[in-house]
Amino acid sequence: MGGEESEAMKACLRHPQVSVYLTPAFFYLLTHLLLSGPHGKTYAFKGDYVWTVTDSGLGPLFPVSALWEGLPGNLDAAVYSPRTQRTHFFKGNKVWRYINFKMSPGFPKMLNRIEPNLDAALYWPLNKKVFLFKGSGYWQWDELARTDFSSYPKPIKGLFTGVPDRPSAAVSWRDDRVYFFKGKHYWRLNQQLRVEKGYPRDTAQNWMHCHPQSPDTTPQVGTPLLQ
């Protein structure tokens, strides 16, 4: 990672309550984990920190454990289910479950019948199932019924046509479409779970509508997130 992006990250961590200019590489860091969470809010994670994401940009930064007590940083994947109002977080071979930001009794637990170190997770509202991704495979999980995982993992491309292997994040968005992120790009899928024409696109310029800084520009307090 270049010096410009490193300074942008450092500036945000030094000034968690103010806006900094969002570079494409900086937003790439945030898309390592996206959570469309409870109360209609979306969260972006990086390391030990989490931001809220709104239509006007990034909100304040918080330590992950300040919002979800007992939850570690550097998570692998996360998913919120409107069906059960549960949020599941995954890291290594463990899973944490929260309801309204309170950890459920007995958690964290060891992952069972699903491989550790997941890449991404999402809830698909059309079939009300949770999808977990790792490498080129996925698992489909019904939270309210015992799921037979004997035929999993299945190939991602067999269901999500046109998406890359090893996605860094995945999310069902408010426009009833599914989005996958990897590197500096994202893919948008229709309700038939096929990548739409014109994708992948640049995440920073098209998803968040931001533009790169010139090399001699330093992030400053009050500089707008969006252009």
First to last CA, the chain: 24
Residue 202, in any domain of the structure: yes
Backbone angles phi, psi at 88, to 5 degrees: -110, 135
Whether 217 is in a domain gets the answer no
Instruction: Domain of residue 147: give its range.
Output: 3-207
Q: Give me the half-sphere count of Cα atoms (radius 13 Å) on the Cβ side of residue 184.
A: 10
More confident residue, 57 or 107: 107
d(CA 188, CA 68): 29
List Cβ neighbours of 52 (8 Å cut-off, separation of 6 or more): 41, 42, 43, 44, 58, 59, 60
> What CATH number does the domain containing 183 carry?
2.110.10.10
Section 42-51 average pLDDT: 85
User: Total structural domains in the chain?
Assistant: 1
98 inside domain: yes
Q: Report yes or no on 224 lying in a domain.
A: no
pTM over 0.85: no
Asked if residue 189 lies in contact with residue 126, where contact means CB atoms within 8 angstroms, the answer is no
Whether residue 10 lies inside any domain: the answer is: yes
Q: Is residue 213 part of a domain?
A: no
Mean pLDDT, rounded, for 103-124: 94
pLDDT in tens, 2-22: 333 334 334 433 433 333 333
Q: What is the pLDDT of residues 121-179, one digit of tens each?
A: 999 999 999 999 999 999 999 999 988 999 999 999 999 999 999 998 888 887 788 99
> What 3-state class would DSSP assign to 148?
coil
Is 161 a domain residue? yes
Is 212 part of a structural domain of the chain?
no
